Structures are given as C-alpha cells and as structure tokens.
Amino acid sequence: MPTSDWFRTAVHDIDSPEGEDRRRAIKDIGKRAKELRREERRDIAQRLCELLATDDWEPVQMWAAWALGMLGEELAVDSLAAALYDDNRDVRCHAALALGRIGAPRAVAYIEQLLQNDPDELTRKYAVSALGHFSWRPQHEDARQLLKSFADDESIQPSVRAAASDELRAGTGTTSHRVTCVQVRMLDVPPADDPGAVVIPDGPLGHAVERRTVTTRVPQRDARAKEAYRRGVGTRCQICGEAGFSARGGGTFCEVHHIVPLAARGFDRPPNLLVVCANCHRKLHYARSLKFTPDPWCERPESVSINGDVFSIDWRDEPTEKRTT
C-alpha cells in the first residue's frame, strides 16, 4: 500500500475521469519518483503502461511516457517501444527519451528502428538524445557507432547530424571510472505556441539549462588496465619513439597517458591510452596548443600536434618486448 499521502492521492487521481487530473497526478509521480519504494515504483509503472497504451487524451500519454523514464523500471520497455509508433509526435519523442533513461540494453535496437523509419526531424533528435544515455557505457559500443553513422551521413537532416555529433562529444550516463556525467539540455525545438510545436513537460527536460558535468565520486584510475596496456605495447614512447628511462633498481620507466582525460569522461582502455616517456607526458599536459587528429571522440587518432610540432602515433598492436621476470 502507498505510504505517502501525496502518492496515495496521485494513485487515486490517475483513475480520474478528468484528463487534467490524470495528467497532474502523473506529473507528480514522475517528479517525486525517487521518493518511492521499489515495489511502489513497479506497481505504478504497470499502471502508467496501461495509460500510455489506452488513454484517450494525448497529453496524458505523453506525461505517462515521461514519468516511466523517471521511474526507471525495465518492465516499461515494451510499452515504450510500442509508443515509438504512436501517431502523436510528442508521445514518440518522450517514449524515446524514457527508453534512454531506463537504459535497458535491448532499447538500443528500438531506438535505432525509430531513427531509421521515422522521417520527422524533431523525433529523430529526441531519439539521438536517448542514444546519448547509452553511448558512453563500454558495453554499448553499438549506440556509439550508430551516433557516429548519423553524424557522418550527409543525407540526414543537418540538425540531426549536429545532435548526433554533440552526443558523441558530450555523453550521458555513468562511466566506468565512477564519474556520473549528466547532460541536461533543451533540444532545439520551436516555441510551444508555434504551429506544430512539441509540448515540453516542465520536468527535467522542461528547463533551458546549460550542459553541466556532475561528479559523484573522485575519478579512480584503473592501475591494472594501465599496467596491462603497458605490458602489451612495451615501454617505448608511442609519440617520440624514444625508449623509456632506466628505473632505479632496474627495469624501464614509462608512463601511460589518457588521451581524453578521466575528468572529461575518458576511459581506462585502448584506444584512449598511450605509453609515453616522461618528457612527452609533460608536454601533453602543459602544451600551449594540443590537437589530436582525427578527433579522439570519434576515431583512434593517427597524430598529435604539440605546440605546432606534429608527431605520428605508433599504435602497436603486439608487444614490442618480452616481459622480464
């Protein structure tokens, strides 16, 4: 049974014959979803799935899709996937975003179908934004590649291509090194009073706020991943080609550089790692001008310009030296 007065009232009102009462109740549930117990979220998600499929007032369906995303229950994925084919554009847009928020792996395929089959420009931009919730999770390389294909396809609307490129650079979700990166951004939509405009709920997507990064924990480098990469490619600098320094006590000293910094949502895995000598490592961090080509967000860079000096990056796929015991 509901334990909060507001939730008890909302559960009652979503069955109201008045559409505005249902809409307001759904909005309250979505805005306060984090206050609910797991069993409460699951029960109300099932009821919202029914409203999404059967309610005869489109604003209720749209808000139901939004609230399902805020609840985050995977049981809603099938209902939201079906809503991607709704006649109303508002419903399709917010169903796609809800699938992104829930983050179920199978939702990527549903969003991909929407991108390929729905010609509406705004719906595609919402779908691209939904993919952004997946693109920086290591297990969802498929979402990243899909965004890249849309960013590169000249036959696609320019605004959709720009949105895909922006998601590749910005990203949303929780990275492998325990930094939560949140992108809160209004999409480029017409004002609500324009003909054909999409109604934006005044929940998380209803405020025009700048993009920001929220760090929940101090980034932790994965020392084991760095050591494994160093063993794989050897100790010779991948930028200048010089051998590593002789370390005190024997062995060779080299360092591992993150091309995209951890604080900027880079990963502790190739191709974001470079074995470098101490001199090049210092240059990379303190250069007045630094540019990798091509963009490391999209491709493995082939070269790097440090203060105007261009170096080819030696991507060694096999170990260059045996590990000493």
Q: What backbone torsions phi and psi does residue 32 show, to the nearest 5 degrees?
A: -115, 25
- Identify the domain boundary among 147, 181, 215: 181
Q: Is residue 19 predicted with pLDDT exceeding 50?
A: yes
Q: What is the CATH number of the domain that holds 152?
A: 1.25.10.10
Q: How confident is the model at residue 226 (pLDDT cuts 50, 70, 90)?
A: confident
DSSP state of 114: H
pLDDT at 78: 96
H-only helix segments in 137-286: 141-152, 158-170, 223-233, 278-286
Contact 79, 52 (CB under 8 A): yes
Which of the residue ranges 17-31, 134-148, 159-173, 220-234 has the most confident prediction, judged by mean pLDDT? 17-31
Of 19-23, 107-111, 143-147, 238-242, the least confident: 143-147
Q: What is the mean pLDDT of residues 243-257?
A: 76
Question: Could you tell me if 76 and 171 lie in one domain?
Answer: yes
Count the domains in the chain: 2
Average pLDDT, stretch 269-283? 87
Residue that is last in its domain, among 181, 206, 235: 181
Q: Is 204 among the domain residues?
A: no
Domain membership flag for residue 200: no
Mean pLDDT, the chain, as a whole number?
78
The residue segments making up the domain with residue 290 are 223-312
How far apart, in whole angstroms, are the C-alpha atoms of residue 68 and residue 102? 8
- Residue 67: name the closest of 84, 81, 49 by CA: 49
The packing angle between helices 141-152 and 107-117, to 10°, is 10
Residue 202, pLDDT score:
41
Question: Quick one: average pLDDT of 301-321?
Answer: 79
DSSP assignment string, 123-176: HHHHHHHHHTTTTTSGGGHHHHHHHHHHHH-TTS-HHHHHHHHHHHHH--EE-T
- Quickly count: other Cβ atoms within 10 Å of residue 110's Cβ: 21
117 and 263 belong to one structural domain = no
Q: Are residues 146 and 73 in the same domain?
A: yes
